[in-house]
Structure 1
Amino acid sequence: MPNRHAAPKAVTCFHKKDTGHRETNFGGLIYSTNAVFLSRSCFTSQVKLNCWKCKKLLDRTPSFFCDSCKSIQPPEEGTSYFKIMDCDYTFTLDTQKLQTRYLQLQRTLHPDNFGQKSVKEQEFSESQSALVSKAYKTLLKPLSRGLYMLKLEGMHLKESTDSVAESQFLLELMEVNEALDEAQTPEEVNKIAQDTKGMLNQRKMKQILAPKD
């Protein structure tokens, strides 16, 4: 949108327990790992934006309203659901906090509040409200949350892998990732690595022994 961008985008990468990249395929399910499931997360710093109406710089990210003229703003492209819902980037997030944030946002962003505003503001309200609802529904349930986190990490599923078994496998991988983040000693990391190696080997054997169509 015109006058929205005031500075070039910069990318900063943060590495978690970086021990070597690997790509694995289990029954059509492709995921990338560092060691076991040590993902390499890249977070893109947000572009500095200006209010579409008064042109003042927006201080917050994401900015739902301009601090200067109080006008509702359009959704910011590429903002993660975790940022929108003000949640920590973790699989075991606080769902009560998530629900509270959802209700707060919808009270201010809902289209019913903009019936007397301009057409543009009504459109922005509808877009923001729909985005908040989508973010809330995605992060609320463990499965959709895990799939979304994998998507953010650059891991993609083929269309043929949307079975219950594959979904359970994804959740197991997310739990491994959380356990590694919480590990305090090398011994704990090694224990998690050994357990996960056994899980992956067991799954690989099931894939080999599974009857072919």
Structure 2
Amino acid sequence: MCEPVRLTGISHHYARIPSLRSVTVTLEPGTVTALVGGNGSGKSTLLGILAGTLTPASGTTTGVPSNTALVPQHSTAPDLFPVTVRRTVSMGRWRARGLLRPLTRHDREFIDTSMDRMGITDLADRTLSDLSGGQRQRTFIAQGLAQQAPLLLLDEPLSAVDTTTVRMIDEAVRAESQAGATVVIATHHRHQADSADRVVVLDHGRVVEPV
């Protein structure tokens, strides 16, 4: 079991505009935490701090594992190059193992399992640009699952997806937490927040109502 992830007094700003203000949150292993709040409240910034893609101006983080999976809200990959679904999901294993290490049979089996969990096995050889919004989102969720990370971060995973994708994502999130992962979701969807173990409400970069 991983240790809790703790953020203490975390502040961040873009140029001179504050995006997080002295945020203190503890995230327990085996739980799902929903980050809720309006646009610009700091949800994505907080995920970026946890993922290590953003550096806080002040404060400390402890317990953040080196293998952290971040599934962003949007991806520009379909516009940049014709990557296939299988290749995209495989990137999760490369992140977990390192780019210079070849994929093993176990890696390939886990990639297949992750694709099957998200119902995209039959899309393996299609490019991302050929997929619907829901299929594309399932592909990126599968990539996150393939990473086998103890900390899984999802930024608005239910944005503009169909009901089948909603169900699959909900099932995957719950399965990951039950397996011991710490799952953090930035979401506008009430049902996703209601099904989480904990809700953290952000308003203009501050935690205003941790539940």
Output the TM-score relative to the length of structure 1.
Answer: 0.27
Q: Name the larger-Rg structure.
A: 1
Structure with the higher helix share, 1 or 2: 1
Output the TM-score relative to the length of structure 2.
Answer: 0.27
Structure with the higher strand share, 1 or 2: 2
Q: Tell me: higher relative CO, structure 1 or 2? Use CA pairs within 8 A at least 6 residues apart.
A: 2
